[in-house]
Amino acid sequence: MSLVVAGRVALSLALGAVLLAGCARFDDSASSPFTPEPTVNPADPKPPKQAPTPGTRPTGPCIDPDPAVVATCMDTTGGLITLGENALVTERRTGRILKVVPVDPSSPQETPTEIASLDVDGSGDGGLSDIALSPTYREDGLMYAYITTATDNRVVRIADGGPPKAILTGIPKGSTGNHGSIEFVTPTQLLVLTGDAGNPGAAASPSSLGGKLLRVNSPAPGATAEIAVSGIGTAGDVCGDGKDSVWITDRTATEDRLQRLDKDGSVTTAWTWPDRPGVAGCAAAADGIAIALTGAKAVAIAAADPTTHAVTSSPSLVAQDKYGQLGGAATGGDGTIWVSTVNKTDGQPGPFDDRVVRIPPPQGGGGSD
């Protein structure tokens, strides 16, 4: 399979350097675990694209007139990571990994390019949940994926031209609760967020890999995992700010949660949503977190104190009811929040779903826009 990716790998999550009244200030100060940051085709630098601006697109099938929309007419999406001015997004049920590229607002969207395809069980909420690039991607070209198979959920490693190799297997599979997430937080440590497979008891059991945040050191075939956090419900996402914090989103029977894992290993609950808006993908910086909401059809911006990391005020909502149910979340160096939609899962997709969208950062003030 070909893994052709162009552009600078931007995994030091950033939403821009604008101080948002009532919101967090996301900037480029959060360092990534990559030193130096991986670069593909460094001999062909390109200036970064600007945030989407108003424009008029030509009409036609799979051409969304909204200039913020990057890609259309995909199957239900899963993981989303930015790659400089571009992004990679997964189709959860088909097992495809696609590269998407923003274009000038007056042009039609480019058709997503398939760079890899995995054999997955996409029933229920299973399939290809998430992807991550190797911290040494520039040298080794390796990618990692969290997938559902016929027998379990697992993490696999993908190399150009070779079959996927199992890294961590035996994560419980159920009719629900199969979604998971992966994130490199150091050059040698991969965090794996697993769902409870519909069994809350497994999430509390130290003998089960289900319903946990796991540490996998030096991820390679046959790797073992250490339990960092137990009691995870339906897994949302795991995202690090590159400094002191790793943030976790999950859904329980009584509430949705945002939890924080400190570098000393302690875990605190930063915010809860008793109304259960469907927390999903997240993107973190030193002083805030952007969270995709599936049920509430919005992006929540949770401001965190840069010193204590506490979230003390209700997260504000942006882009509510504009694009439907949101699943993946990432950030671009131009200050935009990238999200992917999951509207095909409820049987009520729009004519351009599912989509990848770049949402301009809020310009101040709380509440919905």
Average per-residue pLDDT for the chain: 85
Whether 29 shows a pLDDT value over 50: the answer reads no
Give residue 328's domain range: 13-43+66-359
**pLDDT tens digits, 174-209:** 999 999 999 999 999 999 999 999 999 999 999 999
Please give the Cα distance from 91 to 145 (Å, whole number): 12
Does residue 233 lie within any of the structural domains?
Answer: yes
* Average pLDDT over every residue of 102-108: 84
CATH number of the domain residue 305 falls in: 2.120.10.30
Does residue 365 lie within any of the structural domains?
Answer: no
Strand partners, 332: none
pLDDT for 295 equals 96
Whether residue 323 contacts residue 299, with contact meaning beta carbons closer than 8 Å, is answered with: no
Does residue 367 lie within any of the structural domains?
Answer: no
For the entire predicted model, the pTM comes to: 0.86
Among the listed residues 57, 50, 51, 55, the one whose alpha carbon sits nearest the alpha carbon of residue 107: 57
Does residue 368 lie within any of the structural domains?
Answer: no
Does residue 170 lie within any of the structural domains?
Answer: yes
Bridging pattern class, strands 96-100 and 86-91: antiparallel
Between residues 46 and 300, the one the model is more confident about = 300
Number of domains the chain is built from: 1
**pLDDT tens digits, 268-326:** 999 999 999 999 999 998 778 999 999 999 999 999 998 899 999 999 999 999 999 99
Does residue 4 lie within any of the structural domains?
Answer: no
Please give the Cα distance from 235 to 179 (Å, whole number): 6
Does residue 48 lie within any of the structural domains?
Answer: no
pLDDT for 77 equals 97
Which string of DSSP letters, residue by residue, matches 240-283? Answer: E-SSSEEEEEEE-SS-EEEEEEETTS-EEEEEEETT---EEEEE
Q: Which DSSP letter does residue 203 get?
A: H
Task: Give the pLDDT band of residue 40 (cuts 50, 70, 90).
Answer: very low
Which string of DSSP letters, residue by residue, matches 68-118? Answer: TEEE-S--SEEEEEEETTEEEEEETTT-EEEEE----TTSPPPPPEEEEE-
* Average pLDDT over every residue of 78-88: 93
Does residue 281 lie within any of the structural domains?
Answer: yes
